[in-house]
Structure 1
């Protein structure tokens, strides 16, 4: 089929590659404009999707908006059978949604209607969900409100980070999109309306919420850490005032409960922190501007005595 692909980050590349490998005619790729990169930000770096499209000699367009009539007319002139959207980064106006013969389909990283919106991977872990998944849905003018065609579930465990879940869902996304296009091409696709109950929204991660609050339960602290790993990273500060050093925690584990009167304090020489209910052990850390390292290696360069309060 004649497909317009719309996506930007690494997550989107798996779907684009799968569609190319399946023999579809990718008539054009839409992605976010190149961004400043390099130490001084003087060079412009194309998005991962842009780079993949260039590799396959596919036309790339990088409009800053799809609202102008001129942009909509250019899109319509592509005469696409369908548009596939995966983490594109721009809202699609109704004329764009209605332009392809079969409409626009979105690869979304949650089990809708749970976690509609920008950060479904992180929010699922942070909320303590046991399962999430990947869905192929037909887009409408709402925020991830359209009917879905296919879905596949993925378990979330205590060892799941946002990074590992990202990779699991990315691996699923390509084959799922290819299967949806097969069903669409043979007119066998079945669209299922989303349930009215269980709707939640995955707001974009705000940097202000990344600071760790060790006064919450161990489960909540652990989910917070794992859900923000590796980016943007949950963090605490060592020291006070101008001497304070920000430290990201990239992995943790829940350990046996301890005296709740020690909440927020380091309780041993293994970076175990007392929480409101139980305790958390920090497994992998990264100082600002430094390399990530395990707790033992981290403690060779930093002294954190038992009784230290982490904030």
Structure 2
């Protein structure tokens, strides 16, 4: 991870001053670095050597983080978010134009890292994931403010916007280690299910977390009219009065300052958070099961722990 972080910092450099300035803001904000960790861990799980002559997994881990960070920069512009990882978002500090363009720069850097790796197989996996992320974000926009969205469609959205990159991050670890298609598919399944669990918990935290702990504004999803499982669960479990409330604030977008506390109360009354977390736990269990083809090792236990952390985290 230290080598990966050094690569990230080095590849954020540019003779255009605004790019490293905005990059430094992102690095200072921290972040979990979960996706690059998965690439590194997957490679090691598959027996990729840990020495100076075997560094492909480090470059690809940085590549995965650049793809993720580029999507965050673009998402914060689309969502008009003011907080990211507990600090002012890049668009709040540097403006929307800079955030979009530096996001484009980071996407380009990620493809440079893919090219440097030299594997068409790796490029196919990561470029496909990049396209799927964009599709997921567009699909989310298409379902916005629509409480008739089926849960299956919501799950399709979070698979695209989140789980696809988790899956790709894990799968390329098996590719660089030269392992079998069976092991690639197992790690793809692990990453997919872990990503689904991660986004479900993220959506739950938007209605259940302490804002200071969460590191972003609580209630953003409601203000933006996003269709998430906590809202769908609360809406379907509500009485006529409750449904009328959700239709006003989500579908019609008519919101007052008192609506968020009221929404949190209705979420709690209908056990919508528990429903969402239980769904996340189901996916986390599937992620752990996918690792069963690998022998027990410290790395496998780390990846099992990552699944447990994903469901229990507070931010």
Greater relative contact order (Cα 8 A, min sep 6): structure 1 or 2?
A: 2
- Please identify which structure carries the higher strand content: 1
- Please identify which structure carries the higher helix content: 2
Asked if TM exceeds 0.5, the reply is no
**TM superposition score normalised by structure 1:** 0.29
**TM superposition score normalised by structure 2:** 0.29
